[in-house]
């Protein structure tokens, strides 16, 4: 994602009630933000939050946490919440590398990875959010029957992700190279910002669902 610096975004986020601050200190207390014990679904690399906002709106009995590394992007999601707040959506500004310091073991029911940055150089493979290093982290925080859902139009990244699933010994529950043409998998599909943009350009969307 090309990032335009938004002056003042860090300060704005620091003041927001829609953000979980000092997230590592909140480990084990995340449900207190929702005042219920509904399941937790997270999106890692949510960008401006179009997908997770709509998911939260459609599913009031699931708690959603959107994770984004950059303030300049996260601020857009916060502004959407200010216009129409949802009680079941919170955000964390953090690098997903630290995910196990924020979520407890087996705390999360579902992880969404949407149009993750591809990191095309081989030497950066472990930074890809679908790498075996990240799968290892996700395994710690996911419930035993928890799943990861990943969508991308980037075929190289998708092939890499499938290899990593095999290497890490996870189970492939579903897989398509053309989500929008797949009647079963596209049912109830909520488009992300990138999905809308790239599918409008004619790119087919890959998707997998996996569990460990
Ligand atoms: N998921 C959105 C969508 O589908 O429209 C945004 C996709 S954008 C290409 C990828 C986003 O992931 C960017 O906003 C980027 O800052 C974020 N991101 C990349 N690596 C990350 C990491 N390690 N931790 C948290 N966010 C990350």
> Each residue of 16-65: pLDDT tens digit?
999 999 999 999 999 999 999 999 999 999 999 999 999 999 999 999 99
- Ligand 1 centroid, distance to 117 Cα (angstroms): 6
Ligand 1: residues within 6 Å at CB? 1, 44-47, 67-70, 73, 95-97, 114-117, 192-195
CA distance 15 to 130: 32
Looking at residue 133, its pLDDT comes to: 97
Q: What three-state secondary structure class fits 122? A: helix
Please tell me the pTM assigned to this model: 0.97
DSSP-derived letter for residue 169 is T
Burial class (CB in 10 A: 0-12, 13-18, 19+), 33: middle
Residue whose Cα lies nearest atom 18 of ligand 1: it is: 45
User: Is 130 in contact with 166 (CB distance < 8 Å)?
Assistant: no
Residue whose Cα lies nearest atom 19 of ligand 1: it is: 45
Helix (H) / strand (E) containing 137? helix 132-141
pLDDT at 3 over 80: no
Looking at residue 54, its pLDDT comes to: 98
Mean pLDDT score, 70-77: 95
Pocket test for ligand 1, best of 23, 41, 69, 97 (most atoms within 8 A of CB): 69
* Closest atom of ligand 1 to CA, residue 1: 9
Q: What is the mean pLDDT of the chain?
A: 96
pLDDT at 2 over 70: no
Mean pLDDT score, 163-179: 98
Looking at residue 8, its pLDDT comes to: 84
Q: Is there a catalytic annotation at residue 145?
A: no
SS3 content of the chain, % helix, strand, coil (to 5): 40, 20, 40
């Amino acid at each position: 994602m090309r990032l335009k610096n938004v002056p003042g975004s860090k300060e704005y986020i620091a003041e927001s009630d829609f953000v979980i601050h000092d997230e590592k200190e909140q480990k084990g207390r995340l449900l207190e933000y929702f005042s219920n014990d509904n399941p937790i679904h997270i999106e890692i690399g949510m960008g401006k939050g179009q997908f997770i906002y709509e998911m939260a709106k459609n599913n009031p009995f699931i708690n959603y946490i959107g994770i984004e590394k950059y303030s300049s992007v996260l601020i857009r999601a916060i502004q959407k919440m200010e216009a129409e707040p949802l009680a079941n959506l919170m955000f964390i500004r953090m690098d997903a590398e630290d995910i196990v310091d924020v979520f407890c073991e087996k705390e999360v029911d579902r992880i969404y990875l949407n149009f993750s940055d591809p990191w095309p150089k081989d030497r950066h493979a472990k930074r890809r959010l679908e790498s075996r290093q990240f799968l290892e982290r996700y395994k710690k925080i996911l419930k035993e029957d928890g799943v990861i859902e990943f969508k991308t139009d980037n075929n190289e990244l998708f092939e890499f992700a499938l290899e990593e699933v095999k290497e890490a010994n996870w189970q492939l529950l579903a897989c398509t190279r053309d989500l929008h043409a797949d009647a079963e998998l596209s049912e109830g599909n909520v488009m992300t910002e990138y999905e809308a943009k790239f599918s409008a350009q004619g790119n087919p969307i890959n998707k997998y669902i996996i569990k460990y």
